[in-house]
Amino acid sequence: MWDVLIDEQRIAARVAALGTEIRDAFGDDPIMVIGVLKGSFVFMADLVRAIPGPVECEFLGVSSYVGTESSGAVQITHELRCDVAGRHLLLVEDIIDTGRTLDALQRALEARGPASFRVVALLDKPSRRTVQVQVDWTGFTIEDLFVVGYGLDLDQRYRNEPFIGVPRGTLDR
Ligand code: IMP
Ligand code: MG
């Protein structure tokens, strides 16, 4: 059903490297890692274990996608339960597509007065961008392909695949 685009070994190696780079950038500061549900939960679980030193884990929920197309409107489905004022934030996204979700979240979080705001995304599809956003770390840059696995879904399924995959045959076209 799926062809592997990025296998488990490549993901693990990249996540390990990101963890080290992220800790270097934050110095000794405690990092408030904020995962965007649901797509980031698998990546975040691995990423926080690759970041040495003080880390706190929080989550916020958004939804914008139905099937393979964004509905455009970003809805917060689960609010943060913590105060982010004065904290060093690292937002964890599964994938940056149009940029609308990140743009909305960045505005919402920066309005709450954090000490700093940085973003890590597992995947980036820059060719799809409609809103310019800054992403500090990217796991992998990919073409305009719909991907599933490692947390990413198609109508809520396939999040549990350990690899990042595309529908069978997509890569041969
Ligand atoms: P954006 O607001 O258009 O940047 O969309 C970001 C969200 O759309 C991501 O957090 C994903 O949940 C979803 N998304 C975008 N592309 C894909 C994909 O290829 N597979 C699965 N979900 C995707
Ligand atoms: Mg999704």
When the pLDDT of each residue in the chain is averaged and rounded to a whole number, the result is 94
Ligand having the closest approach to the CA of 93: 1
> What is the rounded average pLDDT of the residues 98-119?
96
- Ligand 1: which of 5, 71, 97 to mutate, most ligand atoms within 8 Å of CB? 97
Q: Which domains does the chain have, with CATH numbers?
A: 2-164 (3.40.50.2020)
C-alpha 68 – ligand 1 centre gap (Å) = 8
Model confidence, pTM: 0.94
pLDDT tens digits, residue range 34-86? 999 999 999 999 999 999 999 999 999 998 755 666 666 788 889 998 999 99
Closest listed residue to residue 165, CA positions, set 1, 4, 38: 4
Q: How far is CA 115 from CA 47, 81, 161, in A?
A: 22, 18, 36
Per the annotation, the verdict on 94 as an active-site residue is no
Percentage with pLDDT > 70 across the chain: 95
Place of tokens 């305009």: 144
Spell out which residues line ligand 1, taking CB within 6 angstroms: 39, 64-65, 70, 93-102, 146-148, 152
DSSP output for 149-169: BTTB-BTTB-TT-SSEEEETT
The identity of residue 106, as a single letter, is Q
Q: What is the mean pLDDT of residues 138-159?
A: 97
Return the best residue to mutate from 59, 60, 77, 94 for the ligand 1 pocket (most ligand atoms within 8 A of CB). 94
121 DSSP β-pair partners? 93, 138
Burial of 77 (C-beta count, 10 Å sphere; 0-12/13-18/19+):
exposed
Q: Which residues pair with 108 in a beta bridge?
A: none
